Amino acid sequence: MTGIWVERLKFKDISKFSDFVKKFKTEESSKEVGIKKAKFLRFWALTEVFDYYFGFGPCFVAKSDNEIIGFCEGLNFLGKTYVGIGILEKFQGRGIGKLMIKCMKEYVKKNKLSTRTRVRVLKRNQRGNAFFKMQGFKIIKEGKKWNTWDKKI
């Protein structure tokens, strides 16, 4: 993993994060990607504000050559930390997801947030579901479109 690191998303990196979202593959139309991007950027802004004032949880980004290649967001709410994670396909399988989960775990413990962690993964995302299973998460709900995974980190 030479030249790859993880850090908190900073305000100065918002345009880079926006570029990352454009590259990030989804199965939805480009219109949906734009809507999801706008929703995520609003969500990120809220989580950063909530984290600053109330300690709800951070957003980490993975970088390579100063470009964002992945993200891991956390929202601590109602006794659980809800996690979202995404890595550009060409960087998957290099341990970046594990590193971001480790950063989230350290953050959660340091800030005395809930270590009960939940994540939702598209049912058809075989690689994502396999990743969380390998990380020791247990599936607690199999929906028609999404699987919900849970673990105390």
**pTM value surpassing 0.85:** no
Percent of the chain with pLDDT over 90: 37
Q: Which domains does the chain have, with CATH numbers?
A: 4-114 (3.40.630.30)
| Tens-digit pLDDT profile for residues 130-139 | 999 999 999 9
CA pair distance 137, 127, nearest whole angstrom: 14
Q: Taking the alpha carbons of 125, 131, 134, 138 in that order, is the dihedral positive or negative?
A: negative
CA pair distance 46, 28, nearest whole angstrom: 24
Kindly list the strands in the beta sheet with 80-87, ordered across the sheet, starting from the edge strand earlier in the chain. 4-8, 59-64, 67-77, 80-87, 116-122, 146-152, 138-142
Tokens 């009960």 correspond to 116
**For the residues 55-71, what does the mean pLDDT come to?**
85
